[in-house]
Amino acid sequence: MKTYAIAAIPGDGIGTEVVSAGVEVLAAVARREASFAFKVDRFDWGGEYYKKHGRMMPENGRDLIRTHDAILFGSAGHPEIPDHITLWGLRLAICQPFDQYANVRPTRVLPGITSPLRSVDGPELDWVIVRENSEGEYAGVGGRVHQGSPLEAATDVAMFTRAGVERIMRFAFRLARSRPRKLLTVVTKSNAQRHAMVMWDEVASEVAREFKDVTWDKMLVDAMTMRMVMRPQSIDTVVATNLHADILSDLAAALAGSLGIAPTANLNPERTFPSMFEPIHGSAFDIMGKGIANPIGTFWSAVMLLEHLGDKSAADRLMKAIERVTADKRFHTPDLGGTARTADVTKAVIEAIDGANA
Ligand code: NAD
Ligand code: MN
């Protein structure tokens, strides 16, 4: 029997709550499928680790997880530590060196969940946003001088490489092709940003020629926010830069009912390094420790993890169990207007996995 090695990195805040729930659910899927097992190694990196050691993860941290089959991540973000330290010290310190350049964010209105959009009650909103996850606005290029003096200056330079844009465009066109509507929207801002974003557009048109069966259009990011709200059914697959997709996908999550539901996969498509799966939400300081975090975003991320491992049957079983549970309002956490707790939702999903006809 195959055993998959999973590195669980709960991180901070509700990250620890939802990753524990995610590990329980993965164990239940493995038990029910009986064709594979998980060996889960837990790494307590994050804000508390930082307070003790002055860094978010050990210096050889990446070596400790390099050979795992996948990473299940919670959130980086601690109320007592600046956000750029927690983010760069943990999440980006894994994504970027492991070349997880394709960040895939599906959005769908799950059964039983209400979209804030009046025109949407399910199939009208079924998107996948592909976020460039290795360069662009989050390349880390820039600097700060004369701190605190009136001469102070600071720059953040967005870095786009032809190789980086080509590979994310190809990934997005391929993903669009694999979906029934074969429809891709390339998000840009080439009216205002006249160098890198113009190259982004040019590469999109070049790569499009390899995908004659995919219909594609181009949209400025500000107009895209309006289209997501006004004409959600006109969208299917979307590709956008690191920053643009970061913002658009929080909007997408809200339009699908709650940030607590939205999953993401940070993929290294060449499989040279492990890929990382995480809910898109953060540490949620306002609700941490209360036991009411919605774990569905983590469970859906676990579905993406199973798909990445190639176990379609397990992935389908878990997704069906999730949908059965969201359809039942008794299992809605407060972010969805209910009173259920993280543990109630977890238990219900495990029961749905174990169910005779599940
Ligand atoms: P957040 O996602 O933590 O919270 C935004 C709002 O959504 C809060 O009101 C929160 O209660 C709610 N929410 C989020 N997830 C929820 C869930 N599962 N169930 C119920 N409600 C949920 O975003 P923020 O407040 O901007 O950030 C808090 C911290 O998290 C910051 O330190 C930030 O840097 C970090 N962060 C980390 C990541 C990551 O590691 N991937 C992503 C986003 C934010
Ligand atoms: Mn974000």
> Ligand 1 atom 25: the closest Cα is on which residue?
284
| Predicted pLDDT of residue 8 | 98
Residues sharing a CB contact under 8 Å with residue 47, sequence separation 6 or more, in sequence order: 11, 12, 56, 76, 77, 78, 80, 81, 86
Alpha helical stretches, state H, 116-182:
162-178
Q: Residue 285: which of 11, 92, 8 has the closest Cα?
A: 11
- Beta strands 2-11 and 36-42, pairing class: parallel
Distance CA 79, CA 81 (A): 6
- Ligand 1 pocket member 100 (CB < 6 A): no
Measured in angstroms, how far is the CA atom of residue 94 from the centroid of ligand 1? 19
- Ligand 1 pocket member 281 (CB < 6 A): yes
Distance CA 44, CA 22 (A): 16
| Predicted pLDDT of residue 119 | 86
| Predicted pLDDT of residue 139 | 93
- Ligand 1 pocket member 285 (CB < 6 A): yes
- Report the Cα 240 to chain-centroid distance in Å: 14
Atom of ligand 1 nearest to the CA of 250: 2
Measured in angstroms, how far is the CA atom of residue 76 from the centroid of ligand 1? 9
pLDDT tens-digit map of 176-210: 999 999 999 999 999 999 999 999 999 999 999 99
The ligand with the least distance to the CA atom of 13 is 1
- Ligand 1 pocket member 17 (CB < 6 A): no
The HSE-up count of residue 21 (CA atoms within 13 Å, CB side) is 30
Which regions of the chain are under pLDDT 50?
A: 357-358
- Asked if the domains at 1-100+262-358 and 114-255 fall in one CATH topology, the answer is yes
Q: Is 293 helix (H, G, I), strand (E, B) or coil?
A: coil
The ligand with the least distance to the CA atom of 249 is 2
| Predicted pLDDT of residue 1 | 86
| Predicted pLDDT of residue 358 | 46
| Contact status, residue 135 vs residue 199, Cβ threshold 8 Å | no
Domain-wise residue ranges, the chain: 1-100+262-358, 114-255
> Ligand 1 atom 26: the closest Cα is on which residue?
282
CATH number of 114-255, picked from 3.40.50.2000, 3.40.718.10, 3.30.470.160, 1.10.10.10: 3.40.718.10
- Ligand 1 pocket member 87 (CB < 6 A): yes
Type and span of the H or E element at 321:
helix 312-326
Residue owning tokens 């429809």: 183
Atom of ligand 1 nearest to the CA of 76: 40
Q: Is 294 helix (H, G, I), strand (E, B) or coil?
A: coil
Sheet holding 36-42, edge to edge: 36-42, 2-11, 70-75, 275-279, 263-267, 102-108, 126-132, 237-240, 183-188, 215-220
Distance CA 85, CA 148 (A): 19
- Ligand 1 pocket member 283 (CB < 6 A): yes
| Predicted pLDDT of residue 66 | 97
Atom of ligand 1 nearest to the CA of 14: 18
CATH number of 1-100+262-358, picked from 3.10.20.340, 3.30.70.890, 3.40.718.10, 3.40.50.1220: 3.40.718.10
